[in-house]
Amino acid sequence: RKIKAEKAAELMCVFPFVVKAFEMEIIPAGRIVAQIGGTLTLTCNTTGCASPSFSWRTQMDSPLGGKVSNHRTHSTLTMNPVSIVNSHSYLCTVICDEREKKEKSVKVELYSFPSDPIIEISPSLVAGELATITCKIPDVYPSDHLEVFLKKDEHVLHEKDFFEDESTNTETKIVTYTFHPTAEDIGKEITCVARLPVADTDFEPKERTSSQKLNANFGPQNTVITVSPGNSPMEGDSLSLTCVTQSNPPAQIVWSKYLAEESIQQHLIKNNVLSIPHVHFNHSGLYICEAINLVTNKTEKATVNIIVQGAPVITKLSIEPSTTVQEGENVSIQCSAQSNPPPKIILRRKSDNANMGPYSARSILLPSVMFQNGGDYECVAENKFGSSKSEITLNVKYGPKNTVITVIPAAALKEGETVTMKCTSSGNPAPVISWKKKAASGESEKISRNATLIIQNLKSQDLGLYECEAYNQFGKEEKAVQLYVQGLLEEPDQMIAVIIAFSSVAAVAVPAVAILIYVSRQAKINGSYSLVKALRLKV
């Protein structure tokens, strides 16, 4: 035995062999910070032990909250996902060859800060009305370290911490802030800053931010109308009315014009610019721009008074009941004109002489109109910018008047000569003229439809009563002329019958002046036959 021991010692000196001591470790070591919802693996390693035996437990003997996997020289504890139950100190125990035992522990601390804050702003901010900003920090832990700041641009509006919070699990923390937005706030940035500064931990990020631009609805307000070229354009000029307002979202613009005589509004267009290429006097009036914000449900109006200036324009020249009337009707002639300044209006009848006939400022009344009132009437309107003139014709219809018979020659006639009898008459429409001769039976016989009656080779049978009839649809008038022997004209060698024409008016017509033609040239009337008596007898 002694020899064997010595040999073994000799071999040890020749071939040195180092035997490692039994050791263990947990990876990761020290203080572990894990994010809730993530994955954490703890590894328990051994050296110097051929057949180690592993076991895991918590210091409080709570459930492990993970899955254990043993291998020849190491064991793992995997927590997937990490939850609040994993907030413990974990102890790994290793027994080597059932003789030697070692233990080590590691503390697992948890946090949750998974996403950026969520900003919620009242969906429809209205300037001047109370609004609320909400900032939500989802699933935060431990919340007793949480700090939250609300900023508008770089100005801090509100800050809050949760240092007194006693939550034992992940929670969504909410911070709210109420304020009155203004129109100046539009476009400014609201930022929510959330910080979770857990001491002696190396997780990142410890600060998260979110931002959102403010869009406050307001208005309409400060609505004004600009006019180009001005409020008093000249007739024929172009006119542009522009309505400007402050509103968010942009306001809807509706133009209307107030019609005073009807006490209503005439709607024009839905546009902020109202353009009139060529203004007329009827464009004068009160224009209204109405700005409507469909979100704030508010409206605002602005008005402007437009006065169109210029020379007069005659808008009406009329005859009532018609331009063509019958004598005896009541007639009214009216004239009206537009201008600014108001026009001076003269309505008168045109005439060839200096006296223009009836005239009036705006109207002429002709009760029981006469044919003499017919003719052209003119309306003249004038102001400092110029004048305007218009004409209208009054056509008076009437029956025949002033019917006259003219006999040619207007001297004593002889048998065998030619005599011309012409009938004239006034009337509207122009009268139709016809001639009749009374027969021996007393009946009248139409002998001509012409105004002029010519008798050639005058004979005794041509003597008698000739009637002229003037006729139109409004009446008729008759005149008569009689050819008869008045006496004998003595010539040196012969006696010649003297014929005289006597004109009278028929009973149906207004009495007219009788025409008596009697001429004696270088002749003597024999006997005592009196012309006056003859005429008296004939009448």
Question: Which range is most confident: 102-116, 259-273, 509-523?
Answer: 102-116
Residue 67 domain flag: yes
Q: Which of 362, 397, 432 represents a domain boundary (last residue)?
A: 397
Residue predicted with more confidence, 443 or 33: 33
pLDDT bracket for residue 271 (50, 70, 90): confident
- pLDDT the model gives residue 352: 53
Give yes or no for residue 109 having a pLDDT over 80: yes
> What's the whole-number average pLDDT of the chain?
83
Asked whether residue 500 carries a pLDDT value surpassing 60, the answer given is no
539 in a structural domain: no
State what percent of residues in the chain have pLDDT above 90: 58
CA distance 113 to 108: 17
pLDDT tens digits, residue range 225-253?
Answer: 999 999 999 999 999 999 999 999 999 99
User: How many domains does the chain fold into?
Assistant: 5
- Residue 325 sits in the same domain as residue 315: yes
Q: Do 291 and 314 belong together in one domain?
A: no
Residues forming a β-bridge with 218: 248
Q: Is residue 325 part of a domain?
A: yes
Other Cβ atoms less than 10 A from the Cβ of 230: the count is 11
Per-residue burial over 47-60, b if 16 or more Cβ lie within 10 Å, else e, is eebeebebebbbee
Phi first, then psi, for residue 137 (nearest 5°) are -110, 105
Residues 6+ apart with CB under 8 A from 224: 243, 244, 245, 302
pLDDT digits (tens, 9 = 90+) for 167-224: 889 999 999 999 999 888 888 999 999 999 987 777 888 899 999 998 888 889 999 9
Whether 299 maps to a domain, the answer reads yes
Looking at residue 442, its pLDDT comes to 78
**CA-to-CA separations, 312 to 278, 309, 316, 364, 380, in angstroms, rounded:** 16, 9, 12, 20, 9
User: Would you say residue 528 lies in a domain?
Assistant: no
User: Rounded to whole angstroms, how far apart are CA atoms 419 and 494?
Assistant: 22
Q: Rounded to 5 degrees, what angle do the CA atoms 507, 471, 510 make?
A: 30
What's the token pair of residue 371? Answer: 């044919």
Q: Is residue 55 part of a domain?
A: yes
Note whether 44 and 92 are within 8 A (CB): yes
- Identify the CATH number of the domain in which residue 329 sits: 2.60.40.10
Domain membership flag for residue 52: yes
Q: Are residues 275 and 226 in the same domain?
A: yes
Do residue 302 and residue 384 come from a single domain?
no
Query: Are residues 268 and 355 both part of a single domain?
Result: no
For the record, the structure tokens of 95 come out as 């027994």
Q: Domain range holding 62?
A: 23-111
Q: What is the pLDDT of residue 484?
A: 75
Residue by residue, DSSP assigns 4-64 as: HHHHHHHHHHHS--PPPPPEEEEES-SEEEEETTS-EEEEEEEES-SSEEEEEEETT----
Model confidence pLDDT, tens digit, residues 458-492: 888 888 899 999 999 999 999 999 887 655 444 54
Asked whether residue 382 is assigned to any structural domain, the reply reads: yes
Residues whose CB falls within 8 Å of the CB of residue 54, separated by 6 or more in sequence, listed in order: 44, 68, 70, 74, 75, 92, 93, 94
Weakest mean pLDDT among 117-121, 150-154, 202-206, 309-313: 202-206
Could you give phi then psi for residue 10, rounded to 5 degrees? -65, -45
The residue ranking higher by pLDDT, 281 or 224, is 224
Q: Is pLDDT at 535 greater than 80 in this prediction?
A: no
Q: Are residues 166 and 246 in the same domain?
A: no
0.75 exceeded by pTM? no
Distance CA 126, CA 223 (A): 18
Q: What is the pLDDT of residue 5?
A: 44
Give the side-chain half-sphere CA count within 13 A for 164.
1
